[in-house]
Amino acid sequence: MQSVGIYEAKTRFSALIELVEQGEEVRITRHGKEVVRMLPVRRRPVITDEQIARELEQIQALQKTVRAQAAADTVVMLRQTGRSRA
C-alpha cells in the first residue's frame, strides 16, 4: 500500500495507476487524512470458496441448535401452562 498527498498524486497520476494495475493499493491524502483509495478492479477474493462452505455449515449447525432450543422452550412453556390451569 502506498500513501501520497493530493499534489503528488496529481503529478504522478499515471505512475500511481500503473501501481494499482499491478495490484497495489494507493491511498491519497489531504492534510494527512485519507480522502481517496484506489484499488485494482480485479482483486484476489478475500474469502475462499472453502471458507464460505465452512461458514455456511456453521450457520446451519447453529440454526439447528436454535430450533432445537426453541422447541424445548415451547415444551417447557406448554407444561407450565398446563400445570397452572390444573
Give the domain CATH number at 28. 3.40.1620.10
pLDDT in tens, 26-54: 999 999 999 999 998 875 667 888 999 99
Domain count, the chain: 2
Is residue 3 helix, strand or coil? Answer: strand
26 and 58 assigned to the same domain: no
pTM value is 0.47
pLDDT at position 60: 92
Beta partners for 5? 29
pLDDT in tens, 49-75: 899 999 999 999 988 887 777 777 887
7 and 34 assigned to the same domain: yes
Q: Which residue segment(s) compose the domain that 19 sits in?
A: 2-38
- End-to-end C-alpha distance for the chain, whole angstroms: 72
In the block, cell 474469502 appears at 47
30 and 54 assigned to the same domain: no
83 and 57 assigned to the same domain: yes
3-class SS letters over 10-66: HHCHHHHHHHHHCCCCEEEEECCEEEEEECCCCCCCCCCHHHHHHHHHHHHHHHHHH
62 and 79 assigned to the same domain: yes
